[in-house]
Amino acid sequence: MLDFIRIACAVPAVRVGDVKQNTRDICDFMKQAEENQADILLFPEMALTGYTCQDLFFQDALYNAVLDGIRQITACSRACPALTIVVGAPVRVGMQMFNCALVISGGAVLGAAPKTYIPNYNEFYEKRWFSSGTELRDSSADLGEGLGKVPIFRQPVFQIGGARVGIEICEDLWTPLPPSVIMALSGAEVILNLSASNETIGKRAYRRDLVKHQSAALNCVYAYCSAGETESTQDLVFSGQCILAENGRILAQTQEAIAGNYLLIQDCDLGRVRADRQKNKSFQDTAAGYREHFGPVIVTNAPDLRSDGSRYPLEKLPFVPSGRQDRVERCMEIFRMQVAGLKQRLSVIGGAKAVVGISGGLDSTLALLAAVEAMRQMGRPASDVHGITMPCFGTSDRTYRNAWELMQTLGVSAKEINIRGAVSLHFADIGHDPDVHNGTYENSQARERTQILMDYAGMVGGIVVGTGDLSELALGWCTYNGDHMSMYGVNASIPKTLIRWMIDAISDMPDFSAARAVLQDVLDTPISPELLPPDAQGKIAQYTEDLVGPYALHDFFLYYVLRYGFSPKKIYTLACRAFADDFPPETIRSWLQVFYRRFFSQQFKRSCLPDGVKVGSVSLSPRGDWRMPTDASARIWLDELQSLSP
């Protein structure tokens, strides 16, 4: 299962008091939702009558029309058995009337959920007509001929096609302890809100933030559907605002300021909700303290969810915000965290210098920028940063020039130590043929560089600032006890796809204006470890992405493996959709197999990582987010991938 649920929010052009026309419109929206293979169709508060009926709610004629309308909607639901409809209507129970949400599916009313908090202030006067769900004494409501008695409970949770769904109505969300809190703690993964919230200045943004926050606080999908512009405008205006949020992220919302007569459809990912709740022990601990307040679970006969997630918003680069302003803000926030961590480490040691190996590539450039900025904020000169470039067999002219120009424009203490002789002597010592360009040939260079950095740091009273990034650590694309090791890793939780954008954003800082040109050239340089000799023209001959695969794909895989623990099937499916225009399915599956093989086999390198600040939602630190046995088998992950048809 891919764990998606497709929710449709319908805002009909309601005619206040005209239940017959409203019923026809509701049935029409049901047909549209069915054609779009929605799992749940949500309507606004009192969609059957209109929210603004006022004292007409006391009229028997209106209520009898409501019962007829419910019967018609229930009959229409037989034509779309995989769709669950949630519609607002008044329901009489004994001598009281309740503002309810009716849950209908497969030709039956599955239950009713009454509104708990009845507003009676400012423009609201609901207590004149409706009782609170707290006053409910019966467990069923008689809807008359053809429908009979249906369950009615305060704060019920409906089991709909494998998903647990809670319902609250408008004002319930605006209270200090919304019913959705209790329902989520009792297992509801989706909260539906039938609303009739009138529009006033600033209220639209407030509602949006309220829904967004509630979905984050409850680790849930939250669907909000409000009455539209055709409600009575005697004293109020209604905007028809609909919002679909998931775990603190707005997935879809009404764009028009005032709207009506439309359908908003969106896939939501229950897999994300379930993954976060499984990890969030505080959520579980809170639930333990509120069990006595839980309402009943109403098990329906609704079929399994049918959404395939094709309407779910996917980003190719999940670590990188798509909008420029958001991206720059994210990059600068991360840079500030990098600098803060390094400043604290240098301060604790007491006047320590920062030693960085400079290759002219992306990772070492970002580490160098962080070190220079840390010194600047500490009131120390850039010369307290020691940049060392260590050319060897694979160094290209371009990266060599960029390394030197970068150090000079930033004003650091620059030094070149050519390691050809030392590595050649090492080859002789261990009996390695330098014409054999294997792992020994490459790793010897990486370890020699690390040895020099460590010893040089000891000589100048400094620490080695590590340059390796999150993507390299996930793939094990580093030499054990070589570039794998440092005294503080400033890039350790930053993925490769984000590092490019970070350097681009930092290059616009006034303090780095002198280095802007060389920084841009670094961004244009192909990613390479430069451990094999350059070609005849002195250009890079070894490209990392040719060897381990595109970092865009690997960072996509990494995000969903670490953040949510999704299955190989789901990650493969998502990747095929996100990269449909870039890679054929077989290529995606092939690189995903590479990812799993390397991720499992290289854990031993991650089990002994140096310190490094966590900056995002995932980290591979053995002291933080990720604990994994070094000898775990990848068999079941690879077998699942092998079983998929590209």
At position 365, the amino acid (one-letter code) is: T
Measured distance CA(312)–CA(49) in Å, rounded: 33
- Helix 324-349 with 496-506: angle, nearest 10 deg: 90
For 527, the 3-state DSSP assignment is coil
CA 17 to chain centre: 43
Cβ distance 236 to 200 under 8 Å?
Answer: no
Annotation says 570 is catalytic: no
**Of the candidates 45, 73, 24, the residue with the CA atom closest to the CA atom of residue 129:** 45
Measured distance CA(445)–CA(432) in Å, rounded: 13
Cβ distance 88 to 47 under 8 Å?
Answer: yes
For 99, the 3-state DSSP assignment is strand
Measured distance CA(444)–CA(447) in Å, rounded: 5
> What is the CA angle 379-385-389, rounded to 5?
160
Marked catalytic residue, from 9, 27, 34, 45:
45
Cβ distance 237 to 198 under 8 Å?
Answer: yes
Measured distance CA(510)–CA(515) in Å, rounded: 10
Marked catalytic residue, from 80, 100, 115, 171:
115
Measured distance CA(219)–CA(190) in Å, rounded: 9
Residue 148 phi/psi, 5-degree rounding, is 65, -150
Label each residue of 35-90 as H, E or C. HCCCCEEECCCCCCCCHHHHHHHHCHHHHHHHHHHHHHHHHHHHHCCCCEEEEEEE
Cβ distance 39 to 306 under 8 Å?
Answer: yes
Cβ distance 406 to 358 under 8 Å?
Answer: yes
Annotation says 170 is catalytic: yes
CB atoms within 10 A of CB 250: 16
Cβ distance 505 to 369 under 8 Å?
Answer: no
Cβ distance 179 to 172 under 8 Å?
Answer: yes
Listing DSSP states for 399-424 in one string gives HHHHHHHHHHHHT-EEEE---HHHHH
Q: Which residues contact 591 (CB under 8 A, 6 or more apart)?
A: 549, 550, 553, 554, 557, 583
> What is the CA angle 504-510-516, rounded to 5?
45
Residue 131 forms beta bridges with which residues? Answer: 98
In terms of DSSP bridges, do strands 297-299 and 157-160 run parallel, antiparallel, or are they unpaired? parallel
Measured distance CA(324)–CA(310) in Å, rounded: 26
At position 164, the amino acid (one-letter code) is: R
Question: What residues act catalytically?
Answer: 45, 115, 170
